[in-house]
Amino acid sequence: MHFMSMIFVLIIMSLVLAGFAIFAFFWAIKNNQFDDLDTPAYSVLDEKQNDQNTTDDHKE
């Protein structure tokens, strides 16, 4: 009987975790987290933006 009660606990915990994952996914969609996935990747390659972020610490 102890084994069966542990299975029920694990099933409930997995359902709670799945519910949280679904909630987080729909929250991300609602708050436009997936709108622009390409621009942040290209901003690393942008030389104008990188020149503004340089500091004098590396200059001798």
At 3-53, the pLDDT tens digits run: 789 999 999 999 999 999 999 999 999 998 888 877 777 777 777 755 555
Report the pLDDT value the prediction gives residue 1, as an integer from 0 to 100.
59
Q: How many CB atoms lie within 10 A of CB 14?
A: 10
Question: Hey, where are the domains in the chain?
Answer: 2-52
Q: What is the pLDDT of residue 44?
A: 77
pLDDT at position 31: 92
Query: Tokens representing 18?
Result: 């799945």
What's residue 18's pLDDT?
98
User: What's the whole-model pTM score?
Assistant: 0.56
Determine the pLDDT at residue 57: 56
Q: Which three-class secondary structure string do you get for the chain? A: CHHHHHHHHHHHHHHHHHHHHHHHHHHHHHCCCCCCCCHHHHHCCCHHHHHHCCCHHHCC
